[in-house]
Amino acid sequence: MIQPIELVIFDCDGVLVDSERIAVRVDAFVLAELGWELTEAEIIDRFMGRSSQSMTRQVEEHLGRSLPADWEEEFKPLYHDALAAELAPVQGIVDALDALTHLPTCVASSGSHDKMRFTLGITGLYPRFEGRIFSATEVEHGKPAPDLFLHAARQMGVAPEACAVVEDSQYGLQAARAAGMRAFAYDGGMTPVDRLEGPGTVVFDDMRRLPGLLADQ
């Protein structure tokens, strides 16, 4: 008998808030300023879904030098201003959340708590998850390791096999599978669909379909 779903764990960027297109555009500028020119496709493949610490390590390895501890501070206003001007909820997510009020939900993201308070706040989604938001800063290993999703499940008091994860990045989906959770891959963002597919993974391209897909499990 298949374990009923008792908790839906949402990634934040690209799943709840439509931030990835904005962030990748700014990332390309920031990386070029640091001395590493990458296309948006390369940025998506290398960094999307991973923590800022992981990105910093990769940049330092490529440049062959350490970055100052506060290197990101110079560029934070670029991200803040772009998000403040353009950010909106992912299309259809509000309808999906309205239809999922019978199921416990939480957020587990590679982003920091400050970032999520900002992005979920300006899109009006923060009250829906307040007190149930988990960041990769709380665990030793970020995605694609399963640590963050397992941490969220423990904090919510739900067994991994009773959890469903909604993700839009290859690294997030790898983490969900590694955690033994059912994976739902949103193909409405920037990651190519072939990077989303995998065992135990339902791929979908309209958030309004999510409640029905969860009910079918």
CATH fold for domain 20-85: DNA polymerase; domain 1 (1.10.150)
Return the pLDDT at 47: 86
Cα 185 to the center of its chain, rounded Å: 11
Return the pLDDT at 203: 97
Q: How many CA atoms lie within 13 A of 182 on its CB side?
A: 20
Return the pLDDT at 17: 97
Return the pLDDT at 48: 82
Q: Which class does domain 7-18+88-215 fall in?
A: alpha beta
- CA 173 – CA 90 distance, rounded (Å): 18
- CA 194 – CA 212 distance, rounded (Å): 23
- Return per-residue pLDDT of the chain as tens, 217 residues: 578 999 999 999 999 999 989 998 999 999 999 999 999 999 988 988 787 888 899 999 999 999 988 998 999 999 999 999 999 999 999 999 999 999 999 999 999 999 999 999 999 999 999 999 999 999 999 999 999 999 999 999 999 999 999 999 999 999 999 999 999 999 998 889 999 999 999 999 999 999 999 998 7
Return the pLDDT at 1: 56
**Sequence ranges of the chain with CATH classification 3.40.50.1000:** 7-18+88-215
Q: Which pTM does this prediction carry?
A: 0.90
